[in-house]
């Protein structure tokens, strides 16, 4: 199987009958550049900017951030790079921003924290924009959104940062600054019921299936006592994902999935059958998912999805998928 999977590299990402998929990378920590290049991804679907922040002892300055972001944007200059604004809090504390909360996952995290600390948000956006000068690859993604007001406020600040950087750039005719596309993560269940309102304001959505699973099932994703209950293949999660795909198709809003599910062959199969065409995952999952997609027609994937949607429990879903994976070898 490993050989077959490795042979998939270099092939276009497509289903057996040729339906194309865009397979992108989730990045955070520095990894070997030549390895990344060899994976032949379609750009970066999620750059977790909090990881370099977590590895330091103080907030990186604006110019340090510009360096960090420029490196990624330059490496993927021909493609798109989705940079997520700082998603700290919850399970991702910063050593230099100690938080003590009884329920950190329901607390001050992601966009909530950065909108309350506008200087952090503005500095990060300015750094992203400066790093993107003379490229068109930057896209900005907002994490942990739960209200429309957060989207409005973030868009207003992005506009402000863009205005500031444009003024600096205006003096140099060699420097061109694009306005980046802006997207919202679907990871708090409330967003599922406001997709239409939010879609009018933004350019794309990205599903964070890790947090969406945690919040739909009310299971702390890091608590071992309840870890058996944390399952992205729970029928409720699967149905939510299918609904999101349908709604975004109706709204004609681009959507991708960047949670772990997209990098699991069984998960990718279901997502493909639901209509998702953009999947973002860790580098080591890319070949496997590319290979799996090439082995099945969309109709075959849809027939697996039908069985899964009729299942009553997560174990039943796993059983159906295990059987399919076994057939593939
Ligand atoms: C997610 O929640 O699925 C996601 C991609 O973000 P993170 O895992 O970084 O919270
Ligand atoms: Mg998340």
Residues 256-314 have pLDDT tens digits of 999 999 999 999 999 999 999 999 999 999 999 999 999 999 999 999 999 999 999 99
Which atom of ligand 1 lies nearest, measured to the CA of 143?
Answer: 6
pLDDT class of 321 with cuts at 50, 70, 90: very high
- % of the chain at pLDDT higher than 90: 89
Residues with CB under 6 A from ligand 1: 46, 48, 87, 187, 208-211, 258-259
Predicted confidence (pLDDT) at residue 10 exceeds the cutoff of 90: no
Distance 106 CA to ligand 2 centre (A): 12
pLDDT class of 236 with cuts at 50, 70, 90: very high
User: What value does the mean pLDDT take over residues 106-126?
Assistant: 97
Predicted confidence (pLDDT) at residue 1 exceeds the cutoff of 80: no
Among 87, 105, 232, 285, name the best residue to mutate to test ligand 1's pocket (greatest count of ligand atoms within 8 A of Cβ): 87
> Which pLDDT tens digit goes with each residue over 193-205?
999 999 999 999 9
Task: For residue 140, report the phi and psi dihedrals to the nearest 5 degrees.
Answer: -110, 135
Predicted confidence (pLDDT) at residue 9 exceeds the cutoff of 90: no
ipTM of the complex: 0.99
Which atom of ligand 1 lies nearest, measured to the CA of 209?
Answer: 3
User: What value does the mean pLDDT take over residues 232-244?
Assistant: 98
Residue 253 to residues 102, 170, 200, Cα–Cα distance (Å): 37, 32, 9
Which residue has its alpha carbon closest to ligand 1 atom 9?
48
Total-model pTM: 0.97
Q: % helix / strand / coil in the chain, to the nearest 5?
A: 55, 15, 35
- Ligand having the closest approach to the CA of 280: 1
Distance 319 CA to ligand 1 centre (A): 26
**pLDDT for position 286:** 96
Helices assigned H by DSSP within 183-313: 195-199, 209-217, 235-251, 265-274, 283-295, 298-310
CA distance 289 to 293: 6
> Which pLDDT tens digit goes with each residue over 57-107?
999 999 999 999 999 999 999 999 999 999 999 888 899 998 889 999 999
Which atom of ligand 1 lies nearest, measured to the CA of 90?
Answer: 10
Give which of 308, 260, 253 is closest to 277, Cα–Cα: 253
């Amino acid at each position: 199987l490993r050989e077959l999977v490795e042979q998939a590299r270099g092939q276009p990402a497509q289903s057996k009958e040729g339906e194309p998929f865009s397979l992108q990378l989730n990045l955070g920590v520095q990894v070997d550049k030549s390895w990344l290049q060899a994976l032949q991804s379609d750009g970066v679907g999620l750059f977790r900017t909090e990881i370099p922040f977590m590895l330091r002892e103080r907030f990186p300055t604006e110019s340090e951030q510009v360096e960090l972001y420029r490196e990624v944007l330059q490496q993927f200059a021909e493609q798109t790079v989705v940079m997520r604004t700082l998603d700290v809090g919850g399970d991702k504390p910063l050593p230099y921003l100690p938080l003590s909360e009884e329920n950190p996952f329901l607390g001050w995290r992601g966009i909530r924290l950065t909108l309350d600390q506008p200087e952090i948000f503005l500095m990060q956006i300015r750094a992203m924009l400066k790093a993107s000068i003379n490229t068109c690859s930057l896209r900005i993604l907002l994490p942990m959104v739960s209200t429309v007001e957060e989207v409005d406020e973030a868009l207003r600040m992005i506009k402000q940062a863009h205005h500031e950087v444009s003024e600096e750039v205006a003096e140099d005719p060699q420097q061109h600054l694009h306005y980046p596309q802006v997207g919202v993560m679907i990871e708090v269940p409330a967003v599922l019921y406001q997709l239409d309102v939010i879609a009018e304001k933004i350019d794309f959505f990205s599903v964070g299936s890790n947090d969406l699973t945690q919040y739909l099932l009310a299971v702390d994703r890091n608590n071992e006592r309840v870890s058996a209950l944390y399952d992205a293949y729970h029928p409720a999660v699967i149905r939510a994902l299918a609904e999101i795909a349908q709604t975004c198709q109706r709204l004609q809003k681009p959507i991708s999935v960047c949670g772990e599910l997209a990098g699991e062959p069984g998960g990718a199969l279901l997502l493909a059958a639901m209509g998702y065409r953009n999947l973002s995952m860790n580098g080591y999952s890319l070949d496997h998912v590319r290979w799996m997609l090439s082995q099945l027609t969309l109709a075959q994937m849809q027939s697996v999805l039908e069985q899964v949607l009729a299942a009553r429990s997560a174990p039943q879903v796993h059983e159906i998928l295990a059987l399919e994976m076994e057939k593939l070898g």
